[in-house]
Structures are given as structure tokens and as C-alpha cells.
Structure 1
Amino acid sequence: MRLKRKTLWALTIIIIIGLIIYLLPTKDSNITLYTIEAKYDDENKVIYATQKVDYVNTHDISLREVYFHLYPNAFKTQENLPFTKEELPFAYPDGFKLGFIEFEKIAYRNDIPATYKFEEPNGEILKVILPKELKKGEGIQIKMTYKVQLPPCRGRFGYGTNTVQVANWYPILSVYDKNGWNNDLYYVFGDPFYSDIANYKVKLTVPKNMIVATTGVIKDEKVSYDFKELNIEAQKVRDFAMVMSPKFKVAEQEVDGIKVKSYYFTKDYGKKALKFAVDAIKFYNDYIGKYPYKQYSVVQSDFYIGGMEYPNLVMISKDLYTNSNLFNLEYVIAHETAHQWWYGAVGNNQIKESWLDEGLTEYTTILYIERYYGKATADEIYRHVIEGEFDKYLKTSSDTSFAKTLADFKEWKQYTNIAYNKGAMVFHDLRGLIGDEAFKKVLQSYYKKYKYKIATTQDLIDVVDSVTGKDTGGFFQEWFY
């Protein structure tokens, strides 16, 4: 068939435009990509993995090296563990055994051997010397082969009798910001994890009876003999975590187009946990802004203290799944779910400004209580749980400064009262100062402006000033100084 000249020209233009679109970098082309193939050996509690990290320098200076956190190496020796002495019996009820990450190979693209060295106690930081100066806009691929030994620890990283917690387990890039590389250690207090968003493609092989709760979405699953292979993808998240168990039952419900899942092994309470998670997602979607991911999982875990947030997934202590702890279960799930907005979507430096996400998350939990139980109940809980506990703390300590890094805290009571309680009090008083509608608009504007970014205290103040049209620097100064 002969085509008319106009038709040929049109086809040519379409092809050229298609090529241009294909060759142009996408808006996500500067986001770090982690491609991980991991196999979990349940008998020995070991993960064998290969990992490719595609990193682009987005900074205004050239880089000569990049750094990775190796959090598993904080579990190498009992003297260096990220727990207080009082916590050890709860974290290691069966006694201490080490955990670590050990490398077989680190290379650049095309398997060119990399130059690298381990820094800090027990090699918690990996420094990779780049083969040439990496200018702004240039990228590099770093390939790693390693194994991770999980310890018998009931913390974020380890295993108990019911579940395996696989969090902070792989080499993750340090954040480079105006202060340079942030190579902080796995501190005892708080959540010592500061990370940029990244994309993840993970191929995970586990025993076929293992049920996996994970960051991201399981795209497909293949069973072969005694194993199954999961292909998992996560877009624009700050970390990648999993909890595994052959004992899990799963309940799920869709809300606002989001699949909410409850993984549990204590009968009768998994569905209650699901309801609390659904209620939290529904309220925060309306009050703050839409949860930006397709899935969210609440996971009952052998986790010895409360709850812990990761992107798309939170660990909740198995001890809360009882009738006597039902309200505590709801409160912790509401709190950890709020972290999906404050930490997950809107990031901050949790080492230097821990109050920013914890204080806002704690007060957002009070807003949840107000929504479902009424203002009188929320006010009562605020007075007892937040102001009351802070007043008790003031009787034994005058140190309430926000100007602390996690390394400066001396005890959990100090950390929780400053980061959580005093932090929540700031937002409570701010709401009283500017009014309910303006406060709601502040949270919505803060979320919208800093979603997938890293915010600071000054960024928050700027949003408040922008929304209210007032200078609120004096208000924040009173709280800080």
C-alpha cells in the first residue's frame, strides 16, 4: 500500500517525538534506585543479597566519595548495642548473639573493583571512593554482594518466636545536605535514621510457607519447590523494611483506593488493628492530604516496645494485642500511621530535629482521638498523657532544650518528654494561637510543599507565617529558648 506524502510526514514526526520523549530523562531520573536480589535462609537467619545502587549527584558541588550506613554492624558486639542496659533483657530474652553485614564484593559498573573502607565503631559506615569526580547531574552505579546475619533480638532488626523483623538491614546511602554527609551512628535513643526518598526493586526468595509484610507492593509471586520468589516494587520511599512469619493471618480493607492490611497471629485482635488503621488513614487523608502510596500494612511483631514506623509498614508490639491493651493498641497504631505523613512523606533529620516529626505525629494522634472520641476525651488525654507526663519530668529535670542531637540524650524519659510531649505541646499551643482552620491549613500546606522532600524547623515556621500572614518567630523562640 502506498502512503500519501502528508501521512509519511506525520508518521515521521510522531516517531521523532517518541524518540525524544524516550531519550529525555524522566522527572524521577535523579532519584536513587536500589535493585536488590535477596534470599532468606530461615534456618540460619541469614540473608544473602546482591545490590545495585544507581545514584545521581544532584548537589552543586562535585563528589569524590559516597557513604553508606551499615546499621547491622551496630549489633556486632554487646558493648556497642543500640540499647540501654535496662532494655537488654527485653531486647535479647534468650541472650546475646551477634548480628552483622559482611561483604563479598563491592564494585562499580562492569564489575570494576571499588576502593572502599569501613569507618566508625564496628564498621557502621562504608566509604566508597569514586573512580572519578562525580559532577552535578552525573551518575554512578555501585554493586555489592553481601550477607546479613540477623540476631535473636526483639527490636527493629532481628527475630523472635513468631516474626522476623528485617529493618535497617541493607547498605543505604547517607544523606548529603548543607552540612555535608550525615554519617551518624545507630544511637541508643530515638530513631537514628535520616534518609532521602528512593525507588526500590526487590526480588526476594523465602521459604514457601513464609508470609511477608513489606514496604511497597508485591507485584508477583512464584512458588518453586520449597521456596517462593516475590517481586516487590516501592516508589519514592525513604527506606525498605519487611516483617516475615509463617504464622501470619491477614485481614485487609480498601479505603480511598488504598489497600490497608493487618498482619497478625493473635486471634481476634487482627481485625481490630485493621479497623484502627483504616480509621486513621481515612481521617489523615481528609485532614492532612491523601496518603501517597497504594498500600499500608500494620504488622503484629515480636517487637518489645510499642510501635515503629517504616514506609508503608509499621511494626506493632505483640503485647498490645490484648483486651486490656486495646486502647493502647489503637493509640499506637494511630501514632505510627501518622508517621506515614510525618517521616514517610515529609522527611526531616530525625537525629538533629527529632521533635519535628515526633512532636507533630504525637499531636496528630490527639487530633485522631478528637475526631473519633470527641474533643473532651482528646483534651483529657492531652492533659494526662502529654502535659501531665511533661510536668512530672520537670520535677526531676530542668533540661528541656530542643537543641539536642540523639547523641545528647541520656535516658528514654528525657527523649520522650522532649521530642514527643514538649513537641506535641508546641503544636497544641500553635493551634490555640492561630485557630483550628488556620492550623489545619498549615498541616495541609506543610504536607503539600514538602512531600517527598526533607523539611526543617525553619521550613515549618515559614509555612505557618505564609498561612497566617503573621510573624510567628517569637512564638517558636519562646518554645526553643
Structure 2
Amino acid sequence: MKFKINLLNLTILTVFCLSLVLSLVFISNNILPSDSIMEGSDVISNPITSDYEDFKEGNFTGHEYSSFNLSLFLDEISSSVWGNLTVDFHNNDPVNFTRIPFHIYPSGMQYDSRAGYIDIINVTTLIEPKQELDFEVFSNNQLMWVNLTSELQPNNRTSFIIQFNTTLPDGGIDRANEHGWDHNKTRIFKFSNAYPQPCVYDEYDGWNTDPYLSTGDPFYFDMAYYDLIINVPENMIVAATGKLVKNQTLSGRTILHYNPEFPVREVTFSASRYFIVESSLYPDANVNISTFFLPKSYSLWHNFALTTAINAIDLYHTTFGDYCYSTFNVVEEYTHFGGMEYPLQVYATEAADYYSGQYSPEWYLETIIAHETAHQWFYNLLGVDEVDWGYLDEGIVCWVTDWYKDFYHPNWHIFEPYWGLDSLRYYFLGSGLPSKINQSVPECISSGTDYWYIGYTKTNTIFEKLRLTIGNDEFIQGLSTFFQDYYFDIADLTDLLNVFESSTGDSLDWFFYPWFNNPYLPNYQISNALYDVSTKLLDFTVFDINENLHQYSYSQVIPIQIFSEGSIMEFDEIKWINGTTEISIYIENVPEKIRLDYATLNEFVLFQASYYYMDYLEETNILITNQLIPGYNSLFLILSFSLLAILIIYKKSRLVTRY
């Protein structure tokens, strides 16, 4: 009887231990997250009424613009330009003005030994007897104010003349300069942003009186009619904004009269005794396209620069909309920039001759010309406040330049993959800097943001992601509609968003808000990975560890791969990841690892990399539920056989006791 009691206790203890083991290896899981997919909501924005069809034909009926007559005299010896700016200013804003500001930029430009400067000699009324007007000059801010004799009301005009003298900075560094030498036929005079330029009044800032900035393009101008008259020494070859309507030589001087015919945002000219000129007519738009370059650059520029300009004009004109002017010039320049855009005339650096980067000098020159030519569409015909929204036209133009390359040079594989993809992924890893796009140039400077990066790398890469998201045809059509809706007008990022929403018929807030406003990219992690053997469901969470740093949550598709033992692929599909996202996937076999695949290029996943060459994010810590954990099977068998043996012994012992 004693044996029977001990055996019963042992049996109870064995069953208890077995139950304890089983309780450790069985886990219940009732969480089944849905697969959230980003869907467009109803669009509430309406397309604006466009004047494109009228404007491209020169019909500006019902629209008033200011008019400027700029008369210039180039002094070759002193590298200075005497000028008269006759102003016929139209107030197209709903406020009264008592004074008007003008930018006088040259004193803010870089130089070698001779600083640039605009000396304002006087300001007088236009009507006889002429009356001097009071004006104030603030050299440190490159600004002057002209005080009016009476209040200028909306839809009214005022006229006056500004007499000035501009000293061109030397050194061949900035937008206006004189550089080069006569002995080797390399001297060039470049007159850009070198006359009093009227500031813009808008609803956001009032008068935009920002000083000259060495970061970005510090320009923001309204459309206006211009007449440009340039007096230069005889035999000087001039490239200037507009159609040459008069050419007269008197007493060793040549007087050239240029008329852009349609409104432009500003004018420029460049002069040299040594320019070689090549020209051709682009018949589809009746545009006379010309290149101006130095003899030293003949082998690179001859025919090649002109062909590139024609190709660019043709592609952009037929895709986005009319280039309505009758002339377009590409001019060689001295500069620390690659090039610079102005209405009807762009500049490309002479340093292309010596380019020794990853590609050839031809590649570099073609890139500059294609880029600056695209600014005729996105800067001149469609205007942007380049101080507050400079990234917008630069980002569009950088993408358009790459599209030009892909169109004419498909073997370059520009989008396979897009060069900006890895730049964005590894930017924070290398710099540690935030990179919010939607901020002004001064805000970039104060926040420690690299404007060159967001304007020339990040923004165009985000546009490439948008193209892949909404489709190539929809993206190109959106840019074309944007251009035509704001032809001869000024636009911003909200306008672009509204155009794309109207064009696609879907809300795109979910795309524009995070990608343009967040300072950091998403940094994904995988957590809470559970696999239920009974339901064959794998549940896990993809979360963004930067989410608390974002103003808006990111949404994008990411390829997800699931592998079972032996790296056998069980699942390979894309899923929408919307901020922190819970995912549930049916998997037939027990999974071993979960992978977010970043190497599938056509999905264009953007993320903040934790290390270089990060092609995927992997999670192997998957908790298996409703199944004995591997390694406990042997223990289970031992306990089971032990229990069976005890029961057999117990039964035999009872037989022995009974008999």
C-alpha cells in the first residue's frame, strides 16, 4: 500500500511537470492586423483658369505689366557700365505704395581685387520739367528705395528714371564680372543682375527685399516688358536678351537695340571681342538659337553646343509647352558655377574645357546646357520665388535634365537606378544633418541644412519617386499642366500639388506633406514577429524609429520577403507601409526570417540607412506559437514515455498486491 501511494504521487508530479513544460511552449495570439493600403481621397482642389493659349500668341489683353527701358554704355577701360533705367511701374497689387524698392546686387557679389558696385547718381521724374525724387541706398543689403511724389494706388502707374553706374567685379567668379585677357583672346564682360531690379510685392512677405545671397539663386522678379539698348566699342560681339532690332555704328561705337517682344523677368548681356558665334533656326517654334564661345573652346563648343541647345529646346517645347520668344542664346562665361539661367540667354562655364571628373567634358557641357535651357520653362515662363521656394524650380529642372539625358542617351541608364537614390539613403549617415526640403534659403542657412543638397539632389529624387508612384505619363502631363497653368505667372509648391491632384484625380497630400516637410527619412525596424502554426499567420510590425521626429508619417510600398528554414522563399510581395504598420501574412511553412527588400529598384524605397551598402532590413527573432518549440521535442517524448512506464509499473504493482 505504501508503494501505491508513492507511485500515485509520482504520477501526479509527472503530469504537473509535463503541463508546466507545455504551458511554456504554447502561446496564444489573437492579433490580426489588416494590410493598410494608401488610397486617394476625393480631390477638393480645382484647376485654375489658364491664359496659356492667348499668351503664347502674344495676346495679353486684360493684363498689365510694368515696362523698363534699359540703356547701357560699356566702358572697356574701367570695366564699368553707365546706365539709365526708365521705369514705367504698374501697381498690380491691392495696396497703395508710397515708395518702391530695387535690388542693387553687385556689391554682394564675389570678386578678386575689384569689388562690384552700383552707384546711384540720381532719380528723376520722366515728365518735363524733370523733378528729382528722393531715394535711399542701403549698400549692406544691396537695396535702394525710391520715394514717390504721390501715393500709387492699385492698377495705376508711375514713371521715373534711375541714372546709375555699375562697376563690374573682377575675377570671373560671380554672376556679373569682367575676366580674361586680350593677349590670348579670352576677355569677357558679363552684365547680369547688375542694374537696379524692381523687388516683388506678394501676399506672403509684402516687399521681398532679400539681399544678395551666395547660396542658391537669390532672385524673384515679376514679368515686365523690356527694351534693351547697349552701346559698346566697335567690333565688340554682344549676346543679349531679345531680338536684335537695330545695329548702328558711329564714331567707333556700336549701338545695339534688343527687344524680347514678350514680357521677361530680367535682361542680361555679355560682350567680348573674341566670341565665335554659331546659329541655327529651330523651325517648329521659329526660334533663332545661337552659341557664343571663345576660340580656346572651339574644339568642345563647335557644333556640339548648338546641337545640344536645339535638342533641349525641341524636347521641352514639344513636351511642356511653347517657348514663345524668337531668340535663345547659350554663352560661354567665367564663373564658379556650372552655369546660370536668364530669360532667352543662359551661360555655361568655360571650365568645361578642363573638366576632369567622372565623365567627359562633352558630358559636362551638355548637362549644363540642358539644365540651364530647362530654366526657360521653369524660372522664366513659370516663375518661382527663388529665395523662399528655390528648391522647386531647381528640383524640377534637375529632374528634367536627367530626363533629357535619358531621352537622347538611353544607353546612359540614368534611371537604372536613379543616381539620387543612394544619395538620399546614406545622406544622414555621412552628414548627420537634417534635410527638410520645404524651407527658404535663409532658413536652410540658419537650420544647418545644405541647400545645394536639397535643391539639386533631394528634390529631384523625390520627383522621381513621385513619377514611379503615379506613373510616367501622369507625371509628365502634370509638369506640362503646371507649366501651362502658370505661364507668365508665379507658382509655389502648393500650386504644384494642386495641379498633380487635378491631373491624377487623387489626393496626394500623403505624398507631398512628408517628403517635402520632414527633416529626416524613415528609419524602419521590425518588431513583434509572431507565427501561429494553427492558423499559419505571421504577424509583425514595421515601425519608423524616426516617427517622433516627423511632422507627417511616411507612406510607401516596400517589398517584403519571408523565408523558411534553408532560406526558402515563402513570400515575396510589396506592402504599403504607412507610418507604423501592423502586417499579417499567411505562410504555409514555419518562417525563419522576415526581410524588407531595399534592392528592388523599381519600388524606389527611401529610408535612412544605418550602415553603408544596406540592401535590406532583416528580422530573425520570430516567436512560434501553438507548436512545441524545437529543442523541447525530446523532453516531451522522454516525459511521455516516462509517464507511460510509470503507469505500466503501477498497474503491475496493483496486480502483485492483489494476489
Determine helix, strand or coil for the equivalent of 1:404: coil
Judge conservation of contact 1:390–1:417 (CA < 8 Å) in 2.
no
Deviations 1:127-171 (A, max 9, x none): 112211111111000211111111113121111102111100111
Q: 1:186 to 1:249 in 2, by over 3 A?
A: same
Once residues 372 and 274 of structure 1 are traced to their aligned partners in structure 2, the CA distance between those partners, rounded to angstroms, is 15
Within-5 A mapping of 1:325-474:
325-374=361-410, 377-380=413-416, 383-384=418-419, 386-394=420-428, 395-410=430-445, 414-474=450-510
Q: CA deviation at 1:30?
A: 2.0
Aligned to 1:3: none
Q: Which amino acid aligns with 1:261?
A: S
2:337 to 305, 319, 329: 305
1:66-85 Cα offsets, whole Å, 9 max, x none, are 1111112324xxxxx5xxxx
Cα deviation code 1:51-102 (max 9, x no counterpart): 1110111111211211111112324xxxxx5xxxxxxxxxx4xx32121111
Corresponding residue of 2:310: 278
% identical equivalent positions: 27
Match of 2:104? Answer: 70
Query: Which residue of 2 is the match for residue 145 of structure 1?
Result: 163
Q: Residue 243 of structure 2 contacts residue 327 of structure 2 at CA under 8 Å; is this kept in 1?
A: yes
Pick aligned residue for 2:258 from 224, 232, 249: 232
Counting only pairs closer than 5 Å after superposition, residues 95-244 of structure 1 correspond to structure 2 as: 95-110=112-127, 111-119=130-138, 121-122=139-140, 124-154=142-172, 155-161=174-180, 162-178=187-203, 179-234=205-260, 235-244=262-271
What amino acid does structure 1 have at the position aligned with 2:92? T
Query: Following the alignment from structure 2 to structure 1, what is the Cα–Cα distance between the partners of residues 218 and 363?
Result: 28
1:387-436 CA-partner distances (Å, limit 9, x unpaired)? 34444532213310123322234499922210111110121111111111
Any conservation in 2 of the 1:393–1:417 contact (CA below 8 Å)? no
- Listed one character per residue, the Cα deviations across residues 243-292 of structure 1 (whole Å, up to 9, x for unaligned) are 11111001111112111111111112222111111111111112211212
- Mapped partners of 2:298, 2:196: distance in 1: 36
Contact 1:175 1:181 in 2 (8 A): yes
In the alignment, the residues of structure 2 paired with residue 306 and residue 73 of structure 1 have an alpha-carbon distance, to the nearest angstrom, of: 22
Aligned to 1:258: 287
Q: Retained in 1: the 8 A contact 2:405–2:412?
A: no
Pick one of 233, 237, 245 that aligns with 2:272. 245
Alpha-carbon distance in structure 2 between the residues aligned to 1:296 and 1:204: 18
Give the AA of the match of 2:431. T
**Alpha-carbon distance, 1:123 to partner:** 5.4
In structure 2, give the amino acid aligned to 1:115: D
Is it true that 1:267 corresponds to 2:294 in the alignment?
Answer: no
What secondary structure sits across from 1:383 in the alignment? coil
* CA contact 1:387–1:421 (8 Å) conserved in 2: no
Task: Output the CA distance in 1 between the equivalents of 2:321 and 2:255.
Answer: 35
The number of residue pairs the alignment matches comes to 437
How far did residue 458 of structure 1 move?
Answer: 0.5
Secondary structure of 1:462's counterpart equals: helix
For residues 99 and 379 of structure 1, the distance between their equivalents in structure 2, rounded to whole angstroms, comes to: 42
Is structure 2 residue 71 aligned with structure 1 residue 40?
Answer: no
CA contact (8 A) 2:244 2:256 kept: yes
Q: 1:26 to 1:451 in 2, by over 3 A?
A: closer
1:260–1:295 CA contact under 8 A, matched in 2: yes
What runs of 5+ residues in structure 1 fail to find an aligned partner? Answer: 1-24, 76-80, 82-91
Q: What letter matches 2:213 in structure 1?
A: Y
Quick one: distance in 1 between partners of 2:69 and 2:322?
A: 28
Shift of 1:375: 7.4
In 2: Cα distance, 1:315 partner to 1:137 partner: 36
- Relative to structure 1, the CA distance from residue 376 to residue 50 in structure 2 (aligned partners, 3 Å threshold; closer, same or farther) is closer
Instruction: Assess, with a 3 A threshold, how the Cα gap between structure 1 residues 105 and 291 changes in structure 2: closer, same or farther.
Output: same
1:317 and 2:342 are equivalent in the alignment: no
Cα distance change of structure 1 residues 28 and 35 upon mapping to structure 2, 3 Å threshold: farther
In the alignment, the residues of structure 2 paired with residue 466 and residue 137 of structure 1 have an alpha-carbon distance, to the nearest angstrom, of 32
The normalised TM-score by structure 1 is: 0.87
Q: CA deviation at 1:122?
A: 2.9
- In structure 2, relative to structure 1, the CA distance for the partners of 1:422 and 1:470 (3 Å cut) is same
What is the alpha-carbon distance in structure 2 between the residues aligned to residue 151 and residue 167 of structure 1?
11
Contact 1:46-1:148 within 8 A present in 2 as well: yes
Aligned letter for 2:439?
K
Q: Secondary structure at the match of 2:473?
A: helix
* Contact persistence 1:30–1:55 (CA under 8 A): no
Match of 1:287 in 2: 319
In 1, Cα distance between equivalents of 2:331 and 2:317: 21
Alpha-carbon shift at residue 303 of structure 1 (Å): 1.9
Larger radius of gyration: 2
Give CA deviations for 1:12-71 in whole Å, capped at 9, x if unaligned: xxxxxxxxxxxxx97376211111221111111111111111011111121121111111
Where does structure 2 lack aligned partners over 5 or more consecutive residues?
1-58, 181-186, 519-659
Alignment partners' CA distance in 1, 2:113 and 2:442: 24
| Cα distance change, pair 478–376 in 1 and its aligned pair in 2 (3 A) | farther
Whole-Å Cα distance in 2 between the matches of residues 459 and 404 of structure 1?
16
Larger displacement relative to structure 2 (217-226 or 446-455): 217-226
Distance 1:222 1:329, change over 3 A: same
Instruction: Give the Cα separation in 2 of the matches to 1:306 and 1:124.
Output: 24
Amino acid at match of 1:337: T
After superposition, the Cα gap between the structure-2 partners of 1:97 and 1:391, relative to the gap in structure 1 and judged at 3 Å, is farther
Give the root-mean-square deviation of aligned CA atoms.
Answer: 2.0
Distance in 1 separating the partners of 2:315 and 2:490: 24
SS of corresponding position for 1:147: strand
- 1:17: which partner in 2? none
**Higher helix proportion:** 1
- When structure 1 is superposed on structure 2, of 179-188 and 103-112 the one drifting more is 103-112
Q: Distance in 1 between matches of 2:280 and 2:346?
A: 16
Query: For 2:314 and 2:354, how far apart are their aligned partners in 1?
Result: 24
The answer to whether the 8 Å contact 1:31/1:197 transfers is yes
Q: Displacement, 1:300?
A: 1.0
SS at match of 1:378: coil
- Structure 2 CA distance, aligned partners of 1:448 and 1:244? 34
Structure 1: distance between partners of 2:78 and 2:363: 37
**In 2 relative to 1, CA 410–181 (structure 1 residues): closer, same or farther, beyond 3 Å?**
closer
